[in-house]
Amino acid sequence: MLNISRNLKQAIAIGAFVCATNLPVVAYAEDSSSELRVTLDHTKVHVLDRKISTVAMTNPAIADVTLHNDQVLLIVGRNFGVTNLIALDSAGHPIATRTIRVVDDDLDTVTMVRDGNIYSYSCSPRCERSPRPSDETKSAEEQIKLQSTRSKQASDIADGS
C-alpha cells in the first residue's frame, strides 16, 4: 500500500476541490523589498515591475505619493517619520507594500540651539535659514512666509507682472 504523508493528502484534497468546483484561484507575489528612505523635501522615483492601478500612503503628512504612470511612483518626503505605502493592481491585489522612512540629508545642514529653540541653516556654500519640522515655530513660520513672498515675486517677474 502507498504511504502518503498527511500534508500531501491535504494538498491533493484542496487541489481536487478547486478543480471540481471550478473556482478561480488567484495567486500573486507581493514585492516587499524592505524600506525606502526618502530625504526630507526631496522626491524619490520608485519603479515597480507590475502595473499599478491604485496607490495609498498611510500618513501623507510624512510622505506623499503620486502615480506618475502605471509603474512609476513619485514619493516626496514631507516630514520626518515612518509611514507605509500600498500599491494595488486593477483587480485590487497588493503589488507592493513598502515602509517609507523620511530622513534628513544633513550634509550641508547646520543646526543651532539657542534658548531652547532649534534653528536650521542650509550651508552650500553660504549659510541661509532653512526651517525644518523640529525648528522653533514662530521663526520657521516667518521664514516660510519670506520664502513664499520671494517665490511670488520671482513668479510675477517671470510672468511680466
Same domain, 39 and 96: yes
Query: Is residue 25 one of the residues assigned to a domain?
Result: no
Same domain, 64 and 48: yes
Question: What is Dmax (Cα atoms) for the chain?
Answer: 93
Same domain, 55 and 77: yes
Among residues 103, 123, 143, the one where a domain terminates is: 103
- Beta-bridge partners for 50: none
Q: How high is the mean pLDDT in each 10-residue block of the chain (161 residues)? A: 55 56 44 75 91 93 92 91 93 93 79 82 80 68 71 76 63
- C-alpha separations of 145 from 76, 84, 127, 155 in Å: 21, 31, 19, 15
CB 79 within 8 A of CB 61: yes
Same domain, 99 and 119: no
Same domain, 49 and 98: yes
Same domain, 97 and 114: no
Number of CB atoms found within 10 A of residue 46's CB: 19
Query: Is residue 7 one of the residues assigned to a domain?
Result: no
Query: Is residue 116 one of the residues assigned to a domain?
Result: yes
Distance CA(142)–CA(91), nearest Å, equals 47
Number of domains in the chain: 2
Same domain, 83 and 113: no
User: Tell me, what CATH number does 43's domain have?
Assistant: 2.60.40.1380
Same domain, 39 and 90: yes
Q: Which domain does 42 fall in, by range?
A: 35-103
For residue 111, what pLDDT is reported?
80
Among residues 85, 103, 121, the one where a domain terminates is: 103
Query: Is residue 2 one of the residues assigned to a domain?
Result: no
Distance CA(69)–CA(53), nearest Å, equals 9
* Residue type present at position 112: M
For residue 155, what pLDDT is reported?
75
Instruction: Give the phi and the psi of residue 6 in degrees, each rounded to 5.
Output: -60, -45
What separation, in Å, do the N-terminal and C-terminal C-alpha atoms of the chain show? 93
Which set of grid coordinates corresponds to residue 96? 507592493
**∠ Cα 155 159 161 (to 5°):** 95
Q: What's the chain's Rg over C-alpha atoms?
A: 25
Among residues 88, 103, 118, the one where a domain terminates is: 103
For residue 114, what pLDDT is reported?
83
